[in-house]
Amino acid sequence: KAGVTQTPRYLIKTRGQQVTLSCSPISGHRSVSWYQQTPGQGLQFLFEYFSETQRNKGNFPGRFSGRQFSNSRSEMNVSTLELGDSALYLCASSRSGAVYEQYFGPGTRLTVT
């Protein structure tokens, strides 16, 4: 079956702009989690959605937001981009929400100039 897909795979934006990243989970999966991966901070949890509800959010500023649609697809938005937002953004989906059932997508590489 198809895996987790993320679009776009690569993105270049300018400071101050906003960006929207998309994640399509595996069919039947209702939970989507987002992570930011940077060389300095490593992998950090952004937020998790289950059946269109955000259940938890990591320690990120309000510029980072997300949503989940009724078909379980999820988007995350970063407003007023900063250079430090350059990162690989990973999403993961699972059927029940359990972390050991999560499948990760290949990520979106965001570069802020």
Is residue 55 involved in binding another protein (CB under 8 A)? yes
> Shortest approach of another protein to residue 79 CB, angstroms?
22
Is residue 60 involved in binding another protein (CB under 8 A)? no
Is residue 56 involved in binding another protein (CB under 8 A)? yes
Is residue 89 involved in binding another protein (CB under 8 A)? no
Is residue 4 involved in binding another protein (CB under 8 A)? yes
Helix (H, G, I), strand (E, B) or coil at 61: coil
Rounded CA-CA distance 24/8 in Å is: 11
Interface mask toward another protein for 6-35; x: CB under 8 A: -------------------------x-x-x
Is residue 78 involved in binding another protein (CB under 8 A)? no
Q: Which long-range contacts (CB under 8 A, 24 or more apart) does 41-49 make?
A: 43/90, 46/76, 46/89, 47/76, 48/97, 49/74
Q: Which residue, 61, 78, 74, is CA-closest to 13?
A: 78
